[in-house]
Structure 1
Amino acid sequence: MIREGAPESAAGAETARPKLLSGGNPQIPKGDGDAPVQAYIAAMPGWKRGVGRYLDGLIGRVVPDARKAVRWNSPFYGIEDQGWFLSFHCFTRYIKVTFLNGASLSPVPPVDSRHERVRYFHIHEDDEPDEDLLVSWLRQASNMPGEDLFR
């Protein structure tokens, strides 16, 4: 299970916390770069923050040149001038990891989308994600980013 680090001080957390939307998803303004992504992750509630840190760190290790941004209250990761390959979003009981060309990954991530090329992977509180599988998906996905529709 991915665990959260030391809690923030209560005083700082109360004044600096963005609004949480449905399912506990942080409302973070659209922005490019690492700073808005880190603001999103810092605002993720409870156990989800640890998962956000884990995903961001894993992406940084596997795809060190990944471009980062926040769009539609979700962090996005992509390759400059090639488009986005992954995003994630908080829901009440899980974090939805979106592979924008997930139908082309092997093995295909388990959750279908109404979009033909998109596939999802859900991480629940007590899950132990298969890091080798995630690394494989990240390597594959970063080599086939989606259209850059999310400017």
Structure 2
Amino acid sequence: MPGKTSGSSGKAAIKPGAAKTKPAGEVVLLSGGNPQIPKGYGDAPVQAYIAAMPGWKSAVGRRLDAIIAHAVPGVRKAVKWNSPMYGVEEGTYFLGIHVFTKYIKVAFFRGSSLDPLPPVASKHKEVLYFHIFEDEQFDEAQFADWVKQASQLPGEKM
């Protein structure tokens, strides 16, 4: 019953698992600071995600997005599972980005086929990661090369 209070405390009962409310226009940051962005296709939801990345991560996110767009003209973008995804075909992606507390994780879904291999292993035999930490320079030319290579491999259907 709406507005019903529990007990004599006068406080409204909150059901376990109920969604938290947020002010209009404010993005919720999930565990590790990952922005909660609704699923969407195209550049707009990806740019909303990047804008909501906390602190230094937003500037790095903008740079990653620019490198990917330059390396793969016409790249398709989407936000799924609160992560930007990049692909060359509708519904098929070669790369995803995710924010953690201390770093940004770039997932190459067919990373085991890249040369040289991205440095971080995964539970999945084909997936390899590249982590970017604050105040750490990364080799943009190498990243762009990985992106180009990854875009030419079969993508992951999602």
Q: TM-score, normalised by structure 1?
A: 0.86
Does the 8 Å CA contact 2:84/2:97 hold for their aligned counterparts?
yes
**Counterparts of 1:1-150 in structure 2 under 5 Å?**
16-81=25-90, 83-148=92-157, 150=158
Gaps of 5+ in 1: 1-13
How many correspondences in the alignment? 136
Does the 8 Å CA contact 1:78/1:145 hold for their aligned counterparts?
no
SS at match of 1:16: coil
- What is the alpha-carbon distance in structure 2 between the residues aligned to residue 126 and residue 49 of structure 1? 13
Residue type of the alignment partner of 2:105: K
Does the 8 Å CA contact 1:79/1:145 hold for their aligned counterparts?
no
SS at match of 2:156: coil
- What is the alpha-carbon distance in structure 1 between the residues aligned to residue 131 and residue 42 of structure 2? 25
CA offset digits 1:102-126 (Å, max 9, x no partner): 0000000000000010000000001
- What is the alpha-carbon distance in structure 1 between the residues aligned to residue 26 and residue 84 of structure 2? 17
Indicate the residue corresponding to 1:11 in structure 2. Answer: none
Does the 8 Å CA contact 2:76/2:90 hold for their aligned counterparts?
no
Residue type of the alignment partner of 1:25: N
Indicate the residue corresponding to 2:7 in structure 1. Answer: none
- What is the alpha-carbon distance in structure 1 between the residues aligned to residue 91 and residue 149 of structure 2? 14
Q: After the TM superposition, which segments of 4 or more aligned residues of structure 1 sit over 3 Å from their partners?
A: none
CA offset digits 1:18-47 (Å, max 9, x no partner): 100011000001111111001100100000
Closer, same or farther in 2 for the Cα pair 1:68/1:92, shift >3 Å? same
Q: TM-score, normalised by structure 2?
A: 0.83
Deviation of 1:135 after TM superposition, in Å, equals 1.1
- What is the alpha-carbon distance in structure 2 between the residues aligned to residue 54 and residue 17 of structure 1? 23
- What is the alpha-carbon distance in structure 2 between the residues aligned to residue 128 and residue 62 of structure 1? 19
* Percent of paired sites with the same residue: 60
Gaps of 5+ in 2: 1-22
Closer, same or farther in 2 for the Cα pair 1:81/1:44, shift >3 Å? closer
* More moved, 108-117 vs 77-86: 77-86
Does the 8 Å CA contact 1:82/1:145 hold for their aligned counterparts?
no
Deviation of 1:17 after TM superposition, in Å, equals 2.7
Which structure has the higher relative contact order (CA within 8 Å, separation 6+)? Answer: 1
